[in-house]
Amino acid sequence: MHSNGARSIPKFAADNGVSPRTIYLEIGAGRLTARKIGARTVITDEDGAEWRQALPKMTPATAA
C-alpha cells in the first residue's frame, strides 16, 4: 500500500532497508509512529521522515 502518503509496514521496512520486525520494535519503543486505516497499520510519509531524522548520526569514531 502506497497511497495517500502512507505505506504498509512491510513496504516501509523494505523502502528503508530494515526488516518489518525492526519497524515493529521501533513502534513499540515509541520511536516511530504508526497509524491505523481500518485494519491496516501504516506509516505516513511524514512520520517516516521524522523517524529517519531522529536516527543517530554516525561519526568517524562510531563507524568502526
How many other C-beta atoms are found inside a 10 Å radius of the C-beta of residue 10? 12
DSSP 38: T
- For the chain, 64 residues long, the average pLDDT of each consecutive 10-residue run is 79 98 98 97 98 93 70
Nearest to 52 by CA among 20, 5, 6, 13: 13
- What integer pLDDT is reported at residue 2 of this predicted model? 45
Q: Where are the domains of the chain?
A: 2-56
Measured distance CA(55)–CA(22) in Å, rounded: 13
- CATH number for domain 2-56, candidates 1.10.10, 2.30.30, 1.10.287, 1.10.357: 1.10.10
Q: Confirm whether pTM is higher than 0.85.
A: no
- For residue 4, the model assigns a pLDDT of 67
Do residues 45 and 6 touch, judged by C-beta distance below 8 A?
A: yes
